[in-house]
Structure 1
């Protein structure tokens, strides 16, 4: 079991690596594709770009597609999982049962003020929690299902060196590969899961 010192060491290492690779930008998942288009690809979770599952078979398809790409990105590596909560004050509110269940063992890593272009008067603080875990197909079902059902957002899964990031959302996942060559391999392998839109979204 990780000690308090282990957790602090992990957080410090993550912060340093994040600054080296991402600069001062906070982890806002939907902004990553714009900033890293050279290594980005988006996969949709269901045929014909359907956004939400209607039955158990479609829910299985969503998980199968997630795990197929996760396996290719991370293999047997440990990964970090980031989840977020929001509040109108700088201090985070007590976490609800869902957030604790989808990211067990996670600790607060970063809090920052979020901007809402649609409502500039609204003050929202984002609080990012992180945990490190070994994983296998099936182990992230609660997390991925919550994202697919729009019950969780701003989720980031990545390796410790931040070379690859997986950003699931309700409807699919954005992937930041190591480089454009790796991205192209993934895109070609799962071409049936791509968007028909010229932008790839």
Structure 2
């Protein structure tokens, strides 16, 4: 997929936001829900038994949403506070080296959140084509769960965003009915907090 094709598909499916995962739940609140990766909303795995639970939960629900052997895109990026900085996150982080990333245009962060950012702050996203296979992306899921990196998965064909973070996964599904279906199916993994966070 080319940079231009990605941008066209993003504008078609997710025109109300930019490819920065923590914004999704605000832009698409009606289609968003979250699961926690560990029982009792524990944030980080501390032993192999907890890692097994975390990866089992994440792989089960992601495979259910995408289906096995499904083409997906991995999207990541880097925040920069100086326009002159060269960005090489996908070359520098070992976990991304197996994939061929294509850089997207800079996102001027002061246009996303004027209070938090100034005009020299930007975010440079990049994407790579991949295939979703159960347990194939465990290395990346571990890095995200340990808060060592950020990335999300998207399928434009299925209109699904899967955005893991250190503690769980945020999902943006194609419509409210689909969201409710999966919330009910995985109700035991939802937050007990009223907000769903």
TM-score range, shorter chain: 0.7 to 0.9
Q: In structure 1, what is the equivalent of residue 109 of structure 2? A: 114
Q: Distance in 2 between matches of 1:60 and 1:32?
A: 27
Q: In structure 1, what is the equivalent of residue 7 of structure 2? A: 15
Mean Cα displacement is larger for which, 47-56 or 107-116? 107-116
Q: Distance in 1 between matches of 2:116 and 2:159?
A: 34
TM-score, structure 2 as length reference: 0.87
RMSD of aligned Cα (Å): 2.2
Structure 2: 5+ residue runs without aligned partners?
none
- Offset at residue 134 of structure 1 (A): 1.3
Q: Distance in 1 between matches of 2:52 and 2:147?
A: 16
Q: Any idea what SS the aligned residue of 1:200 has?
A: coil
Runs of 4+ in 1 over 4 A off after TM superposition: 115-123
1:89 pairs, out of 69, 76, 82, with 82
**CA deviation digits over 1:52-104, x for unaligned, max 9?**
11101111211111111111111032001101122233353333133534x62
Change (3 A) 1:25 1:38: closer
Structure 1: 5+ residue runs without aligned partners?
1-6
For this pair of structures, how many residues does the alignment match? 191
TM-score, structure 1 as length reference: 0.85
2:194 aligned with 1:198: yes
